[in-house]
Amino acid sequence: MARLSMIIGITHNPFIYRLIDRPRAGWTPDTEKMMQRSDMLRDRLRQAKPDVLLTVGNDHFHQFFMDNMPAFCLGKMEVFDGIYYNEVREFGLPLCKLPGDEKVSFEILEGSLKRGVDFAFSNEMKIDHSIIVPLLLVRPEMDLPIVPILTNTIAPPIPTAERFHQVGKILRAVIDEIPGDKRVAAVVSGHLSLDVGGPLQFDPKPMDEEFDERAVGWISRGDTNTAIRECTFERLTKSGNVTPGFLNFLLAAGMAGGLRCTYAEGLKRKGSTQPFFAWEA
Amino acid sequence: MSRYLVDKFIYRVDRNEEMLKAYMADPAGFVARWEKDEAGKLNESETTSGHNFTDEERKALAERDFEKLYAMGAHGFLLWTMMLPVLEPEFPNFRALVDFYNSKIKPYGRPDFST
Protein backbone atom coordinates (compact mmCIF):
# COMPACT_ATOMS: atom_id res chain seq x y z
CA MET A 1 0.00 0.00 0.00
CA ALA A 2 1.08 3.61 -0.48
CA ARG A 3 2.66 5.33 2.49
CA LEU A 4 2.40 8.92 3.65
CA SER A 5 5.96 9.64 4.75
CA MET A 6 5.77 13.33 5.63
CA ILE A 7 3.54 16.38 5.73
CA ILE A 8 4.83 19.92 5.43
CA GLY A 9 2.77 22.96 6.38
CA ILE A 10 4.21 26.16 5.05
CA THR A 11 3.59 29.75 4.04
CA HIS A 12 2.68 30.67 0.47
CA ASN A 13 3.63 34.32 0.87
CA PRO A 14 4.08 35.38 -2.78
CA PHE A 15 6.44 38.23 -1.92
CA ILE A 16 9.11 35.74 -0.84
CA TYR A 17 10.16 35.03 -4.41
CA ARG A 18 11.43 38.56 -5.05
CA LEU A 19 13.31 38.45 -1.73
CA ILE A 20 15.17 35.27 -2.61
CA ASP A 21 15.56 35.68 -6.37
CA ARG A 22 19.03 37.21 -5.88
CA PRO A 23 22.39 36.01 -4.53
CA ARG A 24 22.11 34.79 -0.95
CA ALA A 25 24.72 37.32 0.21
CA GLY A 26 22.19 40.05 -0.57
CA TRP A 27 19.37 38.62 1.54
CA THR A 28 18.13 40.56 4.57
CA PRO A 29 18.53 38.85 7.99
CA ASP A 30 14.75 38.44 8.00
CA THR A 31 14.79 36.61 4.67
CA GLU A 32 17.77 34.51 5.78
CA LYS A 33 15.82 33.36 8.87
CA MET A 34 12.81 32.43 6.81
CA MET A 35 14.89 30.52 4.30
CA GLN A 36 16.73 28.61 7.02
CA ARG A 37 13.36 27.15 8.03
CA SER A 38 12.42 26.53 4.47
CA ASP A 39 15.76 24.83 3.68
CA MET A 40 15.38 22.65 6.76
CA LEU A 41 11.97 21.46 5.51
CA ARG A 42 13.39 21.01 2.02
CA ASP A 43 16.10 18.69 3.42
CA ARG A 44 13.60 16.70 5.42
CA LEU A 45 11.37 16.33 2.38
CA ARG A 46 14.31 15.05 0.36
CA GLN A 47 15.06 12.50 3.12
CA ALA A 48 11.44 11.36 3.07
CA LYS A 49 12.07 10.26 -0.56
CA PRO A 50 8.56 10.83 -1.88
CA ASP A 51 7.47 9.51 -5.28
CA VAL A 52 4.49 11.86 -5.45
CA LEU A 53 3.44 15.06 -3.71
CA LEU A 54 -0.09 15.79 -2.57
CA THR A 55 -0.15 19.58 -2.71
CA VAL A 56 -2.93 21.48 -0.94
CA GLY A 57 -3.53 25.20 -1.21
CA ASN A 58 -6.38 27.68 -1.35
CA ASP A 59 -7.18 29.10 -4.77
CA HIS A 60 -7.10 32.92 -4.81
CA PHE A 61 -9.89 33.56 -7.33
CA HIS A 62 -7.76 32.21 -10.17
CA GLN A 63 -9.12 28.83 -11.17
CA PHE A 64 -12.46 29.60 -9.52
CA PHE A 65 -14.82 32.50 -8.99
CA MET A 66 -18.21 32.67 -7.25
CA ASP A 67 -19.98 31.53 -10.43
CA ASN A 68 -18.71 28.02 -9.68
CA MET A 69 -17.02 27.76 -6.31
CA PRO A 70 -16.10 24.28 -5.14
CA ALA A 71 -15.30 23.75 -1.48
CA PHE A 72 -12.54 21.25 -2.33
CA CYS A 73 -11.36 20.47 -5.85
CA LEU A 74 -8.85 17.88 -6.97
CA GLY A 75 -6.74 18.32 -10.10
CA LYS A 76 -6.36 15.31 -12.39
CA MET A 77 -3.79 15.92 -15.12
CA GLU A 78 -0.41 14.69 -16.36
CA VAL A 79 0.96 18.24 -16.62
CA PHE A 80 0.01 21.32 -14.62
CA ASP A 81 0.78 24.91 -15.51
CA GLY A 82 1.31 27.32 -12.69
CA ILE A 83 1.08 31.07 -12.08
CA TYR A 84 -1.45 33.52 -13.44
CA TYR A 85 -1.01 36.88 -15.18
CA ASN A 86 -1.70 39.01 -12.11
CA GLU A 87 0.80 37.00 -10.06
CA VAL A 88 3.52 37.72 -12.59
CA ARG A 89 2.43 41.37 -12.57
CA GLU A 90 2.41 41.82 -8.78
CA PHE A 91 4.95 39.32 -7.48
CA GLY A 92 7.23 38.58 -10.43
CA LEU A 93 6.55 34.87 -9.95
CA PRO A 94 7.89 32.56 -12.68
CA LEU A 95 5.60 30.59 -14.98
CA CYS A 96 5.95 26.92 -14.10
CA LYS A 97 5.16 23.52 -15.56
CA LEU A 98 4.87 20.56 -13.23
CA PRO A 99 4.30 16.87 -13.81
CA GLY A 100 1.10 15.38 -12.41
CA ASP A 101 0.18 11.83 -11.50
CA GLU A 102 -3.23 11.31 -13.01
CA LYS A 103 -3.50 7.75 -11.74
CA VAL A 104 -2.95 8.74 -8.11
CA SER A 105 -5.32 11.70 -8.59
CA PHE A 106 -7.99 9.31 -9.80
CA GLU A 107 -7.38 6.87 -6.96
CA ILE A 108 -7.67 9.63 -4.38
CA LEU A 109 -10.78 11.02 -6.03
CA GLU A 110 -12.51 7.67 -6.23
CA GLY A 111 -11.43 6.58 -2.75
CA SER A 112 -12.63 9.86 -1.27
CA LEU A 113 -16.01 9.59 -2.97
CA LYS A 114 -16.46 6.14 -1.43
CA ARG A 115 -15.57 7.49 2.01
CA GLY A 116 -17.85 10.51 1.92
CA VAL A 117 -15.79 13.38 0.52
CA ASP A 118 -17.28 14.46 -2.80
CA PHE A 119 -14.33 16.35 -4.24
CA ALA A 120 -15.06 18.42 -7.29
CA PHE A 121 -12.49 17.52 -9.92
CA SER A 122 -10.77 19.37 -12.72
CA ASN A 123 -9.13 18.04 -15.87
CA GLU A 124 -7.95 21.55 -16.70
CA MET A 125 -6.48 23.06 -13.58
CA LYS A 126 -3.97 25.87 -13.51
CA ILE A 127 -2.43 26.40 -10.11
CA ASP A 128 -1.56 29.63 -8.39
CA HIS A 129 0.97 30.75 -5.77
CA SER A 130 -0.70 28.74 -3.00
CA ILE A 131 0.96 25.65 -4.47
CA ILE A 132 3.80 27.14 -6.52
CA VAL A 133 5.41 29.20 -3.72
CA PRO A 134 5.63 26.20 -1.34
CA LEU A 135 7.21 24.15 -4.12
CA LEU A 136 9.69 26.92 -4.93
CA LEU A 137 10.67 26.70 -1.26
CA VAL A 138 10.74 22.97 -0.50
CA ARG A 139 11.05 21.34 -3.93
CA PRO A 140 12.36 23.97 -6.35
CA GLU A 141 13.42 21.24 -8.78
CA MET A 142 9.68 20.74 -9.43
CA ASP A 143 10.51 17.25 -10.60
CA LEU A 144 8.04 15.21 -8.54
CA PRO A 145 4.55 14.54 -9.89
CA ILE A 146 1.88 16.37 -7.95
CA VAL A 147 -1.74 15.77 -7.06
CA PRO A 148 -3.15 19.23 -6.33
CA ILE A 149 -6.14 19.99 -4.15
CA LEU A 150 -7.58 23.50 -4.10
CA THR A 151 -9.65 24.58 -1.11
CA ASN A 152 -12.04 27.47 -0.67
CA THR A 153 -10.98 29.61 2.26
CA ILE A 154 -11.71 32.96 0.61
CA ALA A 155 -15.32 33.08 -0.59
CA PRO A 156 -17.88 32.62 2.18
CA PRO A 157 -19.64 30.47 3.01
CA ILE A 158 -16.65 28.15 3.35
CA PRO A 159 -16.50 24.65 4.88
CA THR A 160 -16.22 24.43 8.65
CA ALA A 161 -12.95 23.83 10.51
CA GLU A 162 -14.32 20.43 11.44
CA ARG A 163 -14.81 19.59 7.77
CA PHE A 164 -11.27 20.64 6.84
CA HIS A 165 -9.97 18.32 9.55
CA GLN A 166 -12.27 15.50 8.51
CA VAL A 167 -11.31 15.81 4.84
CA GLY A 168 -7.68 15.47 5.94
CA LYS A 169 -8.48 12.32 7.91
CA ILE A 170 -10.32 10.78 4.99
CA LEU A 171 -7.52 11.70 2.57
CA ARG A 172 -5.13 9.87 4.85
CA ALA A 173 -7.31 6.76 4.94
CA VAL A 174 -7.59 6.86 1.15
CA ILE A 175 -3.82 7.25 0.66
CA ASP A 176 -3.20 4.30 3.00
CA GLU A 177 -5.31 2.12 0.69
CA ILE A 178 -3.70 3.02 -2.64
CA PRO A 179 -2.32 -0.22 -4.09
CA GLY A 180 1.42 -0.45 -4.69
CA ASP A 181 4.26 0.95 -2.65
CA LYS A 182 4.35 4.64 -3.59
CA ARG A 183 5.75 7.04 -1.06
CA VAL A 184 3.54 10.09 -0.76
CA ALA A 185 4.40 13.37 0.94
CA ALA A 186 1.98 16.24 1.40
CA VAL A 187 2.85 19.90 1.03
CA VAL A 188 0.07 22.02 2.50
CA SER A 189 0.12 25.80 2.44
CA GLY A 190 -1.81 28.41 4.34
CA HIS A 191 -1.22 31.22 6.73
CA LEU A 192 -1.72 32.45 10.26
CA SER A 193 -3.49 35.77 10.89
CA LEU A 194 -3.35 37.84 7.70
CA ASP A 195 -5.06 40.80 6.09
CA VAL A 196 -4.85 41.24 2.34
CA GLY A 197 -7.10 44.02 1.24
CA GLY A 198 -8.27 44.63 4.79
CA PRO A 199 -7.54 47.75 6.86
CA LEU A 200 -4.48 46.31 8.62
CA GLN A 201 -2.72 44.89 5.56
CA PHE A 202 1.05 45.37 5.44
CA ASP A 203 1.04 46.75 8.95
CA PRO A 204 4.62 46.65 10.25
CA LYS A 205 3.65 44.53 13.25
CA PRO A 206 2.19 41.01 12.97
CA MET A 207 -1.54 41.01 12.45
CA ASP A 208 -2.71 39.15 15.59
CA GLU A 209 0.16 37.73 17.62
CA GLU A 210 -2.11 36.16 20.19
CA PHE A 211 -4.02 34.20 17.56
CA ASP A 212 -0.78 33.14 15.88
CA GLU A 213 0.67 31.79 19.11
CA ARG A 214 -2.47 29.87 19.96
CA ALA A 215 -2.77 28.51 16.44
CA VAL A 216 0.82 27.25 16.38
CA GLY A 217 0.16 25.69 19.81
CA TRP A 218 -2.91 23.81 18.53
CA ILE A 219 -0.84 22.35 15.72
CA SER A 220 2.23 21.49 17.80
CA ARG A 221 0.16 19.83 20.57
CA GLY A 222 -2.26 18.21 18.15
CA ASP A 223 -5.09 20.01 19.93
CA THR A 224 -7.47 19.93 17.01
CA ASN A 225 -10.56 19.90 19.23
CA THR A 226 -9.83 23.40 20.52
CA ALA A 227 -8.82 24.55 17.04
CA ILE A 228 -12.07 23.25 15.55
CA ARG A 229 -14.11 24.91 18.29
CA GLU A 230 -12.41 28.27 17.91
CA CYS A 231 -11.87 28.52 14.15
CA THR A 232 -15.24 29.77 13.00
CA PHE A 233 -15.23 32.01 9.95
CA GLU A 234 -16.31 34.97 12.07
CA ARG A 235 -13.55 34.45 14.62
CA LEU A 236 -10.86 33.91 11.99
CA THR A 237 -11.77 36.96 9.91
CA LYS A 238 -11.61 39.13 13.04
CA SER A 239 -7.87 38.47 12.82
CA GLY A 240 -7.65 39.41 9.14
CA ASN A 241 -9.83 38.89 6.11
CA VAL A 242 -7.83 35.93 4.77
CA THR A 243 -7.00 34.26 8.10
CA PRO A 244 -9.31 31.33 7.18
CA GLY A 245 -6.30 30.17 5.13
CA PHE A 246 -5.21 28.64 8.46
CA LEU A 247 -7.86 25.95 7.95
CA ASN A 248 -5.61 24.20 5.42
CA PHE A 249 -3.34 23.33 8.34
CA LEU A 250 -6.26 21.67 10.11
CA LEU A 251 -6.65 19.54 6.99
CA ALA A 252 -2.93 18.72 7.28
CA ALA A 253 -3.37 17.84 10.98
CA GLY A 254 -6.27 15.56 10.04
CA MET A 255 -4.04 13.82 7.52
CA ALA A 256 -1.28 13.23 10.07
CA GLY A 257 -2.72 10.10 11.70
CA GLY A 258 0.28 8.40 13.28
CA LEU A 259 2.78 11.01 12.10
CA ARG A 260 4.08 13.24 14.86
CA CYS A 261 4.28 17.00 14.62
CA THR A 262 8.07 17.39 14.65
CA TYR A 263 8.27 21.08 13.88
CA ALA A 264 5.90 23.97 14.53
CA GLU A 265 6.84 27.59 14.39
CA GLY A 266 5.23 30.91 13.68
CA LEU A 267 8.19 32.96 12.54
CA LYS A 268 7.56 36.56 13.41
CA ARG A 269 8.50 39.07 10.78
CA LYS A 270 7.36 42.42 9.54
CA GLY A 271 3.78 42.31 8.35
CA SER A 272 2.78 38.75 9.13
CA THR A 273 3.92 35.68 11.03
CA GLN A 274 5.07 32.89 8.74
CA PRO A 275 4.01 29.31 9.52
CA PHE A 276 6.40 26.35 9.28
CA PHE A 277 5.12 22.91 10.27
CA ALA A 278 6.28 19.32 9.78
CA TRP A 279 4.74 15.96 10.61
CA GLU A 280 6.98 12.94 10.35
CA ALA A 281 7.14 9.27 11.36
CA MET B 1 -27.66 45.63 -5.13
CA SER B 2 -25.40 43.14 -6.80
CA ARG B 3 -22.33 42.58 -4.73
CA TYR B 4 -21.72 39.54 -6.90
CA LEU B 5 -21.63 41.56 -10.11
CA VAL B 6 -19.27 44.12 -8.58
CA ASP B 7 -16.97 41.29 -7.57
CA LYS B 8 -17.29 39.77 -11.04
CA PHE B 9 -16.25 43.06 -12.61
CA ILE B 10 -13.21 43.32 -10.34
CA TYR B 11 -12.28 39.67 -10.86
CA ARG B 12 -12.52 39.88 -14.65
CA VAL B 13 -10.64 43.16 -14.92
CA ASP B 14 -7.81 42.38 -12.51
CA ARG B 15 -7.06 39.07 -14.20
CA ASN B 16 -6.99 40.34 -17.78
CA GLU B 17 -4.26 42.70 -18.91
CA GLU B 18 -6.24 44.24 -21.78
CA MET B 19 -9.29 44.92 -19.63
CA LEU B 20 -7.16 46.33 -16.85
CA LYS B 21 -5.47 48.74 -19.25
CA ALA B 22 -8.80 49.76 -20.74
CA TYR B 23 -10.28 50.39 -17.28
CA MET B 24 -7.26 52.43 -16.23
CA ALA B 25 -7.40 54.50 -19.42
CA ASP B 26 -11.12 55.29 -19.29
CA PRO B 27 -12.90 54.00 -16.17
CA ALA B 28 -16.39 55.33 -16.90
CA GLY B 29 -16.33 54.36 -20.58
CA PHE B 30 -15.00 50.92 -19.80
CA VAL B 31 -17.61 50.26 -17.09
CA ALA B 32 -20.40 51.17 -19.53
CA ARG B 33 -18.98 48.89 -22.24
CA TRP B 34 -18.39 46.06 -19.75
CA GLU B 35 -21.92 46.28 -18.41
CA LYS B 36 -23.33 46.07 -21.93
CA ASP B 37 -21.06 43.39 -23.41
CA GLU B 38 -19.56 41.38 -20.58
CA ALA B 39 -21.59 41.54 -17.37
CA GLY B 40 -24.02 38.77 -18.28
CA LYS B 41 -21.49 36.42 -19.86
CA LEU B 42 -21.56 32.99 -18.24
CA ASN B 43 -19.06 31.62 -20.75
CA GLU B 44 -18.14 32.17 -24.40
CA SER B 45 -21.60 31.30 -25.67
CA GLU B 46 -24.12 31.60 -22.84
CA THR B 47 -25.45 34.55 -20.84
CA THR B 48 -27.40 35.05 -17.62
CA SER B 49 -29.62 37.95 -16.61
CA GLY B 50 -29.93 37.68 -12.84
CA HIS B 51 -27.52 40.44 -11.83
CA ASN B 52 -27.55 44.16 -12.49
CA PHE B 53 -25.51 47.06 -11.09
CA THR B 54 -27.29 49.59 -8.94
CA ASP B 55 -26.65 53.23 -9.85
CA GLU B 56 -24.44 53.52 -6.81
CA GLU B 57 -22.34 50.50 -7.79
CA ARG B 58 -21.98 51.65 -11.40
CA LYS B 59 -20.92 55.11 -10.25
CA ALA B 60 -18.42 53.77 -7.72
CA LEU B 61 -16.77 51.58 -10.33
CA ALA B 62 -16.76 54.38 -12.91
CA GLU B 63 -15.14 56.73 -10.40
CA ARG B 64 -12.71 54.11 -9.09
CA ASP B 65 -14.22 54.85 -5.69
CA PHE B 66 -12.69 51.94 -3.80
CA GLU B 67 -13.72 53.42 -0.48
CA LYS B 68 -17.38 53.18 -1.43
CA LEU B 69 -16.91 49.75 -2.99
CA TYR B 70 -15.22 48.48 0.17
CA ALA B 71 -17.99 49.92 2.36
CA MET B 72 -20.62 48.23 0.18
CA GLY B 73 -19.01 44.84 0.78
CA ALA B 74 -16.95 44.28 -2.36
CA HIS B 75 -14.55 41.42 -1.64
CA GLY B 76 -11.59 43.07 0.12
CA PHE B 77 -8.97 40.76 -1.36
CA LEU B 78 -10.27 41.16 -4.91
CA LEU B 79 -10.72 44.90 -4.59
CA TRP B 80 -7.18 45.42 -3.37
CA THR B 81 -5.66 43.26 -6.11
CA MET B 82 -7.36 45.39 -8.77
CA MET B 83 -6.80 48.76 -7.11
CA LEU B 84 -3.11 48.12 -6.65
CA PRO B 85 -2.16 48.44 -10.34
CA VAL B 86 -4.85 51.10 -10.87
CA LEU B 87 -3.47 53.36 -8.14
CA GLU B 88 0.23 52.50 -8.42
CA PRO B 89 1.09 55.18 -11.01
CA GLU B 90 -0.18 57.87 -8.62
CA PHE B 91 2.10 57.02 -5.69
CA PRO B 92 5.85 57.35 -5.24
CA ASN B 93 6.14 53.90 -3.66
CA PHE B 94 4.23 50.88 -2.40
CA ARG B 95 4.25 52.02 1.24
CA ALA B 96 2.66 55.37 0.41
CA LEU B 97 -0.06 53.62 -1.59
CA VAL B 98 -0.77 51.12 1.20
CA ASP B 99 -0.95 53.85 3.84
CA PHE B 100 -3.38 55.86 1.73
CA TYR B 101 -5.54 52.85 0.88
CA ASN B 102 -5.68 51.53 4.46
CA SER B 103 -6.52 54.93 5.91
CA LYS B 104 -9.48 55.22 3.52
CA ILE B 105 -10.99 51.81 4.24
CA LYS B 106 -10.25 51.70 7.98
CA PRO B 107 -13.37 53.66 9.08
CA TYR B 108 -15.57 50.94 7.58
CA GLY B 109 -14.05 48.10 9.60
CA ARG B 110 -14.81 44.73 8.11
CA PRO B 111 -18.08 44.86 6.16
CA ASP B 112 -19.89 41.64 5.29
CA PHE B 113 -18.53 40.51 1.92
CA SER B 114 -20.47 37.31 1.39
CA THR B 115 -22.32 36.86 -1.89
Specify if B113 maps to a domain.
no
Rounded Cα distance, A263 and A227, in Å: 18
Nearest CA distance, A65 vs chain B (angstrom): 8
pLDDT by residue (tens digit) across B49-59? 999 999 999 99
Whether residue B105 lies within 8 A of chain A, CB to CB, comes out as yes
> Are A66 and B115 a contacting pair at CB < 8 A?
yes
Specify if B66 maps to a domain.
yes
Nearest CA distance, B53 vs chain A (angstrom): 16
Specify if B115 maps to a domain.
no
> Are B84 and A66 a contacting pair at CB < 8 A?
no
Closest-CA residue in chain A for B106?
A: A199
> Are A197 and B81 a contacting pair at CB < 8 A?
yes
Phi-psi label, residue A5: left if phi above 0, alpha if psi -120 to 50, beta otherwise: alpha
- Domain extent for B68: 3-108
Name the band, by pLDDT with cuts 50, 70 and 90, for residue B74.
very high
- When CB atoms are compared, the residue of B98, B110, B113 closest to A202 is B98
Q: What is the pLDDT of residue B1?
A: 62
Contacts of B11 (CB under 8 A, 6+ apart): A61, A65, B78
Specify if B47 maps to a domain.
yes
Specify if B114 maps to a domain.
no
ipTM (interface pTM): 0.95
- When CB atoms are compared, the residue of A84, A201, A241 closest to B98 is A201
Domains of chain B: total: 1
Q: Where are the alpha helices (DSSP H) in chain A?
A: 16-20, 29-48, 85-91, 102-115, 129-138, 161-176, 209-221, 224-230, 233-238, 247-256
Rounded to 10 deg, the angle between the B27-37 and B3-14 helix axes is 110
Whether residue B75 lies within 8 A of chain A, CB to CB, comes out as yes
For residues B85-102, give the mean pLDDT: 97
**Side-chain-side CA neighbours of residue A170 (13 Å):** 20
* Contact status, residue A219 vs residue A249, Cβ threshold 8 Å: yes
* B38 has pLDDT over 90: yes
Domains of chain A in sequence order: 3-280 (3.40.830.10)
Specify if B77 maps to a domain.
yes
For residues B78-86, give the mean pLDDT: 98
* Partner B, chain A 229-248, Cβ-Cβ below 8 Å: 237-238, 241-242
**Side-chain-side CA neighbours of residue A202 (13 Å):** 14
Nearest CA distance, B90 vs chain A (angstrom): 16
**Residues of chain A with confidence (pLDDT) below 70:** none
Nearest CA distance, A108 vs chain B (angstrom): 30
Q: How many helices (H) and strands (E) does chain A have?
A: 10, 11
Mean pLDDT of chain B: 97
Whether residue B11 lies within 8 A of chain A, CB to CB, comes out as yes
List chain B residues with CB under 8 Å of A198. 76, 105, 110
* Contact status, residue A201 vs residue A134, Cβ threshold 8 Å: no
* Partner B, chain A 85-124, Cβ-Cβ below 8 Å: 85-86, 89-90
* Contact status, residue A260 vs residue A279, Cβ threshold 8 Å: yes
